[in-house]
């Protein structure tokens, strides 16, 4: 990947998370990145293409980090599902936490026909499927039901933390997740 392309992506990611997607114009992105519109459009044909790439990149980075944590520290599937919210709490409490792109983007692009909203919805579904896979591997009977419950806890807690850092939402989501996981493992 080109260094300049990467710089534009990083700049856009920071600006979209700190100022909002719709509030951040291309002029601002190129000024902060120290480049030109022509260069930005060389790598991303439209602002929408840039937004979609930022969302893909952000989600992939988070999923890679979470997978690495789970695989490095847990070998048993039952341990992985139990540790899921430990790592999510670690991520939310880290100084690098800027929220979840698909949550923010779906709020800024509420029209279900919009490609940005569609990608956001897809990423939310894929994360729920990731949790469902962990639950299935842990031999939880209603893996999809648990995945839906845990993804709702995740998205709600992250939304609360995006609105007010240190809200405590993730701590309580983690407690609720443990109750749900323990109950699902007993059924």
- 32-50 pLDDT tens trace: 999 999 999 999 999 999 9
- 125-143 pLDDT tens trace: 999 999 999 999 999 999 9
Q: Are residues 126 and 60 in the same domain?
A: yes
pTM for the whole structure: 0.89
Torsions phi, psi for 109 (to 5 deg): -130, 75
- 145-162 pLDDT tens trace: 999 999 999 999 999 998
Q: How does 96-113 read in b/e, with b if 16+ C-beta sit within 10 Å?
A: ebebbbbbbbbebbeeee
CATH code for the domain in which residue 16 is found: 1.10.10.60
The boundaries of the domain holding residue 70 are 55-186
Counted residue by residue, the chain has a size of 187
Q: Are residues 102 and 37 in the same domain?
A: no
The helix (run of H) or strand (run of E) holding residue 184 is helix 169-186
Q: Are residues 37 and 113 in the same domain?
A: no
The number of domains in the chain is: 2
Which of 78, 180, 65 is CA-nearest to residue 135? 78
Give dist(CA 14, CA 104) in Å, integer.
13
From the CA atom positions of the chain, what is the Rg in Å? 18
Q: Are residues 37 and 63 in the same domain?
A: no
| Residue 63 scores a pLDDT above 90 | yes
Q: Are residues 19 and 86 in the same domain?
A: no
- Residue 114 DSSP class: S
- 77-136 pLDDT tens trace: 989 999 999 999 999 999 988 889 999 999 999 999 999 999 999 999 999 999 999 999
């Amino acid at each position: 990947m080109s260094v300049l392309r990467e710089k534009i992506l990083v700049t856009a990611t920071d600006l979209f998370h700190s100022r909002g997607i719709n509030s951040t114009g291309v002029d601002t992105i190129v000024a902060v990145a120290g480049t030109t519109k022509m260069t930005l459009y060389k790598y991303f044909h439209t602002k929408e293409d840039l937004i979609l790439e930022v969302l893909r990149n952000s989600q992939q980075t988070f999923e890679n980090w979470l997978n690495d944590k789970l695989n490095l520290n847990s070998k048993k599937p039952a341990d992985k599902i139990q540790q899921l919210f430990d790592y999510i709490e670690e991520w939310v409490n880290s100084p690098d936490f800027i929220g979840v792109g698909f949550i923010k983007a779906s709020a800024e692009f509420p029209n279900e026909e919009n490609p940005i909203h569609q990608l956001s919805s897809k990423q939310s579904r894929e994360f729920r499927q990731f949790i469902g896979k962990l639950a299935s591997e842990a031999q939880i009977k209603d893996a999809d039901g648990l995945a839906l419950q845990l993804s709702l806890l995740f998205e709600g807690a992250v939304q609360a933390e995006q609105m007010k850092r240190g809200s405590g939402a993730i701590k309580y989501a983690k407690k609720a997740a443990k109750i749900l996981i323990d109950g699902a493992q007993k059924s």
